[in-house]
Amino acid sequence: MKTLNQMDNLDRAYLLANLFPDELKNLTDFIKKEADFCQDNKVQILKDWTEKHITAELWYNLIAFFERRYKKNGTKLYRNKKTFRDQLFDGYDALFSINALIKFTAEPQCSKKLKYAIYLLFGDNLLVTLDLKSEP
C-alpha cells in the first residue's frame, strides 16, 4: 500500500470508497446536490464570485464535467468503487468533488469517522466557499 504522501486523488478516493462503501450513495448524492445548487444559483454566484485561486468559468466547467459523468454513469457512481474513483476524482475534475466532500463533513448525516477520513485524505480547507449575499 502507498503511503498517504504517495497517494494521488484517485488512490485517496478509492481508499475512502473501500473504507466507507455504505456511504458512497450519500456522498454521490451530496456532490449532485452541490452541483444543482450551483446551477440553480448561477447568476447570483457569478455576480458575487470572489475566489482568487479559481475562476467562476473554470468552476462551472468542473460542474459540467461532473453532471455529464453523473448522467452517463448513474447508480454505477456509488455501486462501483472504481467508477466512483475514476469518474469523480480524476485530474482537475476532482476539485469539485473534493470540495463537495469537504462540505459534506459539516452535514449532520456525516459520521465522525467519515469526517476525519475525508479530512485525512483530502484536507479540511474548501477550495471554493460560496456565500450567497441576500439582496437588500
pLDDT of residue 118: 98
Q: Specify the residue for cell string 450551483.
A: 38
Model confidence pLDDT, tens digit, residues 11-66: 999 999 999 999 999 999 999 999 999 999 999 999 999 998 899 999 999 999 99
Neighbours of 38 (CB within 10 A): 21
pLDDT over 80 at 134, yes or no: no
Cα angle 5-119-24, degrees, rounded to a multiple of 5: 100
Average pLDDT, the chain: 94
pTM over 0.85: yes
Structural contact between residues 89 and 62, judged by C-beta atoms closer than 8 angstroms: no
The pLDDT value given to residue 1: 85
Rounded distance between C-alpha atoms, residue 66 and residue 48, angstroms: 22
